[in-house]
Structure 1
């Protein structure tokens, strides 16, 4: 089910805004709200705009959140989450989709069903990036235990690309990565769960002087090195990376190109991160306001 206004953005230039009056590509985020504005739906929408894509939302939960952590959250009814996905897909069209906080097994299953009904997911017309968010960066749980199993067993097999960090790798597979040497084992373990591609994010390897993420399609490994920026302000980094990749996929980029684009984007966003509140500040989209090229 695809709207008549679907994917009209051009293939050639991810990150470049469309000309005035030209309908941009569309991207859908299926995630929770961050009341502090640094992560979740808010981070995704800022990223979509910065990448020249029209962002749409299927809200899964409302969090009570600031720079210090998540104090509480309320999950939305699964039927309402699914209805949001179906509605925007039917009228506006979805060029690419991403998931973030899904909160419960019932929401995960509702998302899977809605994706099947709207041709979202691996092997279908619309690529799906699954960011298997299990906890906030402060360690606050954002996913019920039965929901983790639903993500592992039912959602990951329909992912075009999965983007776990090392904590999520451990929760999903039991593989505990403590150095760069363990990234390949992690990628193989997550790929065995069913996604077409896996991007292992190595930001949590704090002792490594570089941040070398690893992309794997089941056959070939591609290392994506980047500088390790000396800032504690990385709130929303995982959401921002997944959203920037989804924005490139929505414009027709193949997965490796979209991931390279996302890597460039998140490096700039982390470099521009700023302090906000008493805790961890967010990565930034402000550097794009000046129109700096990626």
Structure 2
């Protein structure tokens, strides 16, 4: 869907991006992760030509993006920025309708699509007649997402989209983001410096440092197969919390109780260890019924869950 081939960008004496290459598959979410100044935002902005590369080539659907007028290109790519960028003197409805109006959509089509999106994003209908300053940070972020999605683009670029939100609101919006059916049809490239956010939302992560790609892989690959010391040390401080979130019940299945239950139902073994712990905690349950990929079921408690997780961890260390 998206391919970068040897992209470079120089600002003065600084090489902000150096020979960056990667591919993003259709309907995949790739997160560009790294410290401030590593080149991730510059890389993102070159995909929709907000910044022009000095070298290399970018393809979307096999076509070189330089073959398109930049304005036409951007109208076909959703873009969500950190500061949301809503126009303060426009109502929410007017903010969402900006691109559809440029594309000459009729008023009825704009109205139907706008109402569809605010329902999906859990915004009350009276929001449409309000102005940005009348909304909370979380509501403004949802509006920014609605504006990026309104024309149903196949590609969505997101630059620190939740960076301005407080931690509680941020966690809530991330959960909505993951669950939103509308986004599961998109090819998404997202920038963040938040490791937990990257691991929560990414199918794959592109770890960057000093304008270069250090490693690209799934969250599990970055945790268990770091390519060098930088990749290992970048995640070291949060490693245990990240492991709880990327390791699922199916991964630790061989280390759980050998007692097999008959019948169907229960939670899927695709549940992460962290999610299973949350279910045990929040619902005051002593046990969970889990159904594995082979359709066998096991009943596990908190102790079995942590013990199985520890055995899995040890096996990774020794392999």
Give me the TM-score of the superposition, normalised by structure 1.
Answer: 0.31
Structure with the bigger percentage of strand: 2
Structure with the bigger percentage of helix: 2
Rg (Cα) greater in structure: 2
Give me the TM-score of the superposition, normalised by structure 2.
Answer: 0.29
